[in-house]
Every structure is written in structure tokens, then in C-alpha cells.
Amino acid sequence: MFKEYSFQVLPYFKKSENNKDIEAIDKKYHGVNGPLNVERFSYVDDNVVMLVNAFNETGLPLVDFNGQQQIGTMTAQTTSANGKRVSTNTAFIKPIRKKRTNLTVRTNARVTKILIERYKKTANGVKYIKNNVWYKVYARKEVILSAGALNSPKILMLSGIGPKDVLEALNIFVIKDLKVGHNLQDHVTTNAMLMSLTNKTSTMIPANQIIDQVKEYYKTRNRNHPLSATGPLQLTAFIRTKFADKDESLPDIQVHFDGRNSKEFYSDPTNYLETNVLPFSYYDSINVRPILLVPESKGYLTLNKTHPVFGQPLIYSRFFTVKKDMDTLVAALKSITELKRTKSFREKGVKFIRNTVSACKPYKWGSYKYFACLFTRYTSTIFHPSGTCKMGPSDDLEAVVNPKLEVYGIKHLRVADASIMPRIVRGNTNAPVIMIGEKISDLIKDRWKDCTD
């Protein structure tokens, strides 16, 4: 779309990265000197190895899918250090927070509005609330909004930037009529496709033993421990279906595997993710999750009419409004079930559980209608909302920001998070959003490099 967001962003990915997986990476595609630690978990259970081998048997190669070739499988590299998650806070903010005199962090504070001079259409600060007290803080140069793909559009609309009809219906003064909140995309999947394990391959242990292991882990911080990893979730694969783009190097499906307690799951499959408290590493079955990487269906979000400021935005995902999306996911699920024929599955006694889940009992297990039912009745995402403050050229009627991430028609206001993605990326969004942060840092420095204030 814009050449500056093609492979020209690779240096921004590498700038943040401190990849410790030296033997597996090509330094052309990875950084080794950044603040963000990247490595694979040292603890890998036998079922992860079995899944990797099964994919290899089907012809899917072992690759570094963050490198030259994406189609393939591997135990994923993660933003972690010694089995402990590394966030952008721990990597970027904590090391400098007490050292930088020009950095102030307000915690437990909620921004509700961008302060904009209405007739000059210039952003000059924000309004926020902390401990039930309202504050205003003013910017000398510009305001950067980075509240995520759900809250950035909400804050823009509360500030008078958004669809005119939505704002006028809530008596919000319209400063700029833009398609804020449109173009919502996410990576959709299902929670209801399980593989059973035998007593030998199950990692489930009694609850009292899990508690003992949790205590042991926090006491020793042993990185070679089940709690230092995420069970089968650390494995992923990228595959193509017959519905994929013509470019044969591009996948249209990512496959995740989650550990499950089958008894708990079948007692309440709809709410399992909300009610399960077991660590990922203890499981007696595995949930197979084909994830749609290139959704054609797009949704939108808008303000909560009852409580626009403190209420959550209303989200209309509109999954599967384009039939190709469902066709792709069903084809992927049918392809994945062929893993049952591999030597790796047979030797371990792994089988797909053919008991139909309650909402899909009218359909035959394995049929198009049954698999489609799994996606529509047990819908899930992997929490990658994107696209709601779309970056695009000035003649794009849905564009909210330009390539410099400046909001169209408003001076000194930019957006920098997953909301600016025109199309959702073919993979997880964490690293691309960090790249956006690195990119906008250079854009800001370039804009103000000659300013002495």
C-alpha cells in the first residue's frame, strides 16, 4: 500500500529485538541488540514434539517463520526471558522510568478526551480522570494516541473525531467526520475441536500436586519447568488452504494448540476459557484452533449510547459475513484432522474426539455443517483487534490517518497502535505493534528535529 510500510520496516522490527535463539535465526531478519528479549521456552513437553513431528510427516517443514519463509511449523519464539514473559513495560519503560527527567507515567488514569481547538482543528492536550479527580495536561508539540484498536477509536469519537451521524446522535460536537471505528478485523477461530491423549501422554496431575508445583516454581524459578512454558500453545504452524492467495509463499491459516481439561471443557464448552484456572501445562486433551489470517469479513465499533464515556464501546465483529472466511476455516480444520494418519499420532494414541458438542449435535462430525457450527456457535478470537483507525491515502474514504500516522484534518495528533493497520497482519500482532512504536518514534523525531523548544 505504502512502500515505507513494506520490507522497509524490517529495521524497526530488528531495532527492538534481542533474539537469543542464535542457532535458529538468520540475522538478516532478526535483531540481537535491542531491549526486547526473544527466545524459545527451554521446557518442551513430549506432546509438542509429537505435533511438530506429525506436521513434518505431512510435508510441512520446520522453519523460522519470523524469517524468510513463513509456511511451516516450529516451537515459537516468544518475548520472554528464562521462562518469564517480557512485556513492553518491562523491556522499554521500567529500565528508564526513574532515570528520565522528561518522562512521567500516570498509572490508574483514564484518558477520556483529546483536547482540540475546534476551529483551528489542532490537538493540544488530553483530559483524564484519576481517583475520581479530573485533570487536563497540555502538549507543547503534539499528542500521540496509543490506546489500542478498541479504545483509540473510542477516545477519538469522544473528542469529536468520527462518523458524523454517531457523534451527532450523542450530542458530540463534530470536529472532523472520519470513519473511525470502521474496518475492524480480528483473527477468528473456535474453541471446540479437541484431541484426546492417553494416560501416558496426558500431563494432567491432581490439583494438590499442581499447587505444590506452583509453589516450587515460585521458590526456585526453575526455567526448565512446566510452568516456565505454555504446553502445546508454544507450538504453531502456518499453512495454506485451496482458498489462499495466488502467492504460494503466503499462508491463510495459523494453527494454535491449547491444553484442555476435557471433563471441565465438556461440562461447559462455551465458558471454558473464562472459568478454567489451570495452568496451560497441565492437560489431558488438546484444543485445535485453526485461525483465519486474512479475513474478508469486517466489523465496526461505536460508542456506548447509554454510557459513552465510561461504558465499553459496542463491538460488532460481523464474523463470517463473507462466505470465503468460513470455507477457509472448514477446509483448514479438515486438513488438520488428517494428522490422525501420521505415525506420530498413531504411536502416541492421539485421536480427535468425535463426541459432538451440544450446540452442533444435529450435524455429522466431520461434515462441513458440523465444522461450520463449531466456528459459529463456539466462536473465539486470539485477541488481535485491528484496523479501526485505518491508515490510507487521502482519497480512501475509510482512512483515518496518513502514512505519518497523522489524523486527517487535525493538526498535531497521531495514532500509533494496531488500529492503524489497513489489513490485519498474517500472524500475531505484538511484534508489529512494537514496530509501529519504533517507526513513529523516528517520524516524530524527524518532524521536530529543527525545533529548539
Supply the residues annotated as catalytic. Answer: 384
Single out the residue of 275, 291, 279, 186 nearest to residue 232, CA to CA. 279
In angstroms, what CA-CA distances link 145 with 149, 267, 358, 389, 420? 11, 43, 44, 11, 11
44 annotated ligand-binding residue? no
Single out the residue of 267, 266, 283 nearest to residue 193, CA to CA. 266
Cell of 398: 475509510
- C-alpha 337/C-alpha 195 separation (Å) is 9
Single out the residue of 226, 70, 162 nearest to residue 389, CA to CA. 162
- C-alpha 353/C-alpha 3 separation (Å) is 47
b vs e for 141-173, b when ≥16 Cβ sit within 10 Å of the residue's Cβ?
ebbbbbbbbbbbbbbbbbbbbbbeebbeeeebe
Burial class of residue 405 in the structure, from the number of CB atoms within 10 Å of its CB (0-12 exposed, 13-18 middle, 19+ buried): buried
Helix spans in 237-388 (H): 262-267, 272-275, 323-337, 343-348, 368-377
Binding region: 111
Binding region for FAD: 111
